[in-house]
Amino acid sequence: MIIKLKKDGQEADRLILFDFFKKNKIPFHYLSSEQIVITPRHTEIELVQDFSAVDSYIAIPTNYKLASKLYKNKTVVSVNGTEIGGGLFNVMAGPCSVEHEEQIFSTAEFLASKGVKFIRGGAYKPRTSPYSFSGLGVDGLKLLRKAADQYGLNVVTEILDLNVLDEVMNYSDVLQVGSRNMHNFYLLRELGKVRKPVLLKRGFQAKVVEWLLSAEYLLSGGNSEVILCERGIRSFDPLSRNVLDLGVVPLIKELSHLPVIIDPSHGTGASSHVIPASMAAAAIGADGILVEVHPNPAQALSDGDQAISFIQFDELLNNTQLLLNALGKHTDTQTSALKTPRL
């Protein structure tokens, strides 16, 4: 149950309610920023409705509450003026890893020339092998920020570990939580306290409910700016790196108010599959994509097989725009297209 407290209510009245919960051993979570109280069950409705502190309440039968569509209809995340989940299809792009100055600056220049608003790039990489390239660390963050600033882009980068939270906070606009960390509840709790949007990837073996509960960790900590990202789940067939679960988009749209984007790169693992997967993401109603682009995919230090070239990115953008335009929608790169009347 979510109990909305009276906005101008008295502290003493709130304490009476909290005391009642404590005495009756009813677990509760007070989110002061929203003036709400969350209880894991919803059987206490008759009990709380007469308390002076209570304004209204919503019975939410699922374990995730704040992430539920019953609580809120829509979340639009705003990043320096660009909206995510606001109706335009966001195209976030960049290399898997920040590798060197020339690589990241040429990518930023190219993306900006295409109207892209978000550059991605990892400085701390969660690699399966300890011998693989694991990113440039803080030097990578600085390069990414410098390139983004030079070309007016927002930075999306992964926060792998709380030890480097301050650095990642300093140099980024959106914090990415990777697939491997979706279950890292300590990390999620800390990111609930920060004032920066979090892009939460789905764990590659996570059920949708588990994913929404991870989002709940962020929301219940007070961070309401959460973007979900489907990046493929592990299956039995070695022919594809992952199985891109596109059906999750309409499902999430039914269950939650959070924006949901697709990562067609990790989702397929093959550069030749990235364009059709991106078009499919647009067709099925995703709020955007997060795609790996590299100036020279063959030379990429991580995830080269799935990185698309600038030429392929051009094709991706054209095809996706054509498709979206036919549906009366637009990418966030098409600022001029917004002025044309809808068909």
Residue nearest to ligand PEP (CB): 178
Segment contacting Mn ion by CB under 5 A, of 25-33, 44-52, 58-66, 89-97: 89-97
**Sign of the C-alpha dihedral computed for residues 15, 21, 25 and 29 taken in this order:** negative
Q: Which residue is nearest to Mn ion (CB)?
A: 96
Q: Which is nearer to Mn ion, 96 or 191 (by Cβ)?
A: 96
In the bound complex, what is the minimum distance in angstroms from residue 158's beta carbon to Mn ion?
Answer: 9
Percent composition of the chain: helix, strand, coil (DSSP 3-state, to 5): 40, 20, 45
Other beta carbons within 10 Å of 317: 22
Least separation, in Å, of the C-beta of 61 and Mn ion? 37
Q: At closest approach, how far in Å is the CB of 330 from ligand PEP?
A: 25
Determine, following the binding rule CB under 5 A, whether residue 303 of this chain makes contact with Mn ion. yes
Q: How far is CA 49 from the centre of its chain?
A: 35
Note whether 231 binds ligand PEP by CB under 6 A.
yes
Residue 96 near Mn ion by CB under 5 A:
yes
End-to-end CA distance of the chain: 43
| Helices 208-220 and 248-255: angle between axes, nearest 10 degrees | 40
Q: How many CA atoms lie within 13 A of 223 on its CB side?
A: 25
Q: Minimal distance in Å, beta carbon 178 to Mn ion?
A: 9
Q: State the number of binding residues for ligand PEP (CB under 6 A).
A: 10
> Applying CB under 5 A, which part among 85-93, 95-103, 203-211, 214-222 lies near Mn ion?
95-103
CA atoms within 13 A on the CB side of 251: 11
Strand order from edge to edge, sheet including 2-5: 29-31, 36-38, 2-5, 54-58
Mark residues 138-177: x for contact with Mn ion by CB under 5 A, - for none.
----------------------------------------
Q: Does 179 bind ligand PEP (CB under 6 A)?
A: yes
126 contributes a contact to ligand PEP by CB under 6 A: yes
Are the beta carbons of 107 and 295 closer than 8 angstroms?
yes
Which residues form the interface with ligand PEP (CB under 6 A)?
96, 122, 126, 178-180, 201, 231, 263, 266
Which residues form the interface with Mn ion (CB under 5 A)?
96, 303
